Amino acid sequence: MRFVMYKYEGLLIHESHDDEGIIEVIDLKGVRSLHFGSSSRQSSMRLAEPYKLELDYVRAMTSWLLFKPTLEEDALIIGLGGGSLTKHLLQNFVDCRLKAIEFRKSVVKIARSHFGLPLDPRLKIIVDDGGDYIRQHEESHRERYSLLIIDAFDHDGIAPSICNEAFFDACKAILKNDGILVMNLWGGTHNPEFQQVSLWLARVFNWRTLFLPVRDKGNIIALAFNNYSPLYSLKELRTNAMALEQQYQIEFPTFLKTLKKHNASTFNQVIKT
Note the pLDDT tens digit of each residue in 109-136: 999 999 999 999 999 999 999 999 999 9
Lowest-pLDDT choice from 50-54, 138-142, 173-177, 183-187: 183-187
Q: How confident is the model at residue 156, as a pLDDT? A: 64
> At the top level of CATH, which class does the domain 56-272 belong to?
alpha beta
Q: How confident is the model at residue 267, as a pLDDT? A: 87
- 221-260 pLDDT, tens per residue? 999 999 877 778 999 999 999 999 999 999 999 999 999 9
Q: Please enumerate in sequence order all residues whose Cβ is within 8 A of that of 47, keeping only pairs 6 or more positions apart, or say none.
A: 27, 30, 31, 32
Quickly list H helices, 115-271.
130-136, 165-174, 192-204, 234-248, 252-262, 267-270
Q: Could you tell me which residues are beta bridge partners of residue 225?
A: 180
User: If you average pLDDT over every residue of the chain, what do you get?
Assistant: 92
- 91-107 pLDDT, tens per residue? 999 999 999 999 999 99
Annotated catalytic residue within 27, 151, 178, 216: 151
> What band does 154 get if pLDDT is binned at 50, 70 and 90?
low
CA distance 18 to 89: 28
- 16-67 pLDDT, tens per residue? 999 999 999 999 999 999 999 999 899 999 999 999 999 999 999 999 999 9
Percent of the chain with pLDDT over 90: 79
Residue 151 bears catalytic tag: yes
CB-CB neighbours of 80 under 10 Å:
28
CA distance 256 to 253: 5
State the sign of the Cα–Cα–Cα–Cα dihedral 211, 216, 196, 144.
negative
Residue 158 scores a pLDDT above 80: no
CA distance 40 to 37: 8
CA-based nearest residue to 116, from 149, 77, 90? 90
Q: How confident is the model at residue 1, as a pLDDT? A: 47
CATH 3.40.50.150 positions along the chain are: 56-272
Q: Please enumerate in sequence order all residues whose Cβ is within 8 A of that of 196, keeping only pairs 6 or more positions apart, or say none.
A: 163
CA-based nearest residue to 25, from 151, 110, 112, 152? 110
Q: How confident is the model at residue 86, as a pLDDT? A: 97
- 188-223 pLDDT, tens per residue? 667 888 889 999 999 999 999 999 999 877 899 999
pTM listed for this prediction: 0.94
CA distance 88 to 248: 10
Enter the DSSP assignment of 65: G
CA-based nearest residue to 67, from 180, 204, 209, 202? 180
CA distance 85 to 87: 5
Instruction: Provide the 3-class DSSP secondary structure of residue 234.
Output: helix
Q: Please enumerate in sequence order all residues whose Cβ is within 8 A of that of 149, keeping only pairs 6 or more positions apart, or say none.
A: 61, 75, 76, 77, 78, 85, 182, 183
CA distance 163 to 82: 23
Could you give the C-alpha distances from 81 to 33, 62, 95, 103, in angstroms and in order? 10, 16, 23, 10
